[in-house]
Amino acid sequence: MNDCIFCKIAKGEIDSQKIYEDDTVLAFNDLDPQAPTHILVIPKEHIESAKDINESNSQVIAHIFEVISYIAGDLSLNDDGFRVVSNSGENAGQSVNHLHFHLLSGRPFAWPPG
Ligand code: AMP
């Protein structure tokens, strides 16, 4: 999508601090980190949010979770643990309409979320 900031990051048109990249998935540091580790993992193709996951694109979602597991191992996040969050829609606080998974670690997280 032309005006989507995460599409532009995926294409390299906007800089990001890349953590991981392959043909279909990109992971980069969040601009406004909410924890010592705060990484966004996105599909390169434009999918608006979790509401748009279906059998035509779910393969990339499965791959995203493989990437999350790889990053967690690579950055040694497994001992203390980590949280994966995807906000979908207004009440959940989604502010960028390109599906993304927040990978958060490095401090305790409350439950239930606020
Ligand atoms: P959400 O509110 O769940 O839609 O999450 C969007 C996230 O994208 C927020 O945590 C923002 O800090 C982050 N964000 C927005 N623009 C950028 C950017 N250019 N580079 C990195 N992270 C960004």
Owner of token pair 């927040």: 102
Q: What is the pLDDT of residues 60-104, one digit of tens each?
A: 999 999 999 999 999 999 999 999 999 999 999 999 999 999 999
For residue 13, pLDDT beyond 90: yes
pLDDT tens digits, 39-63? 999 999 999 999 999 999 999 999 9
**Contact (CB, 8 A) for 11 and 5:** no
| pLDDT at residue number 114 | 84
Write the burial class of residue 51 (CB in 10 Å: 0-12 exposed, 13-18 middle, 19+ buried).
exposed
CA of 93, closest atom in ligand 1: 2
The greatest distance separating any two alpha carbons of the chain, rounded to the nearest whole angstrom, comes to 40
Nearest 5°: phi and psi at 80? Answer: -90, -20
| Residue labelled with tokens 């829609």 | 89
Out of 30, 42, 83, give the residue to mutate to test ligand 1, the one with the largest number of ligand atoms within 8 Å of its CB: 30
State in Å: Cα 112 to ligand 1 middle. 22
pLDDT at position 88: 98
Would you name the residues annotated as active-site residues? 100
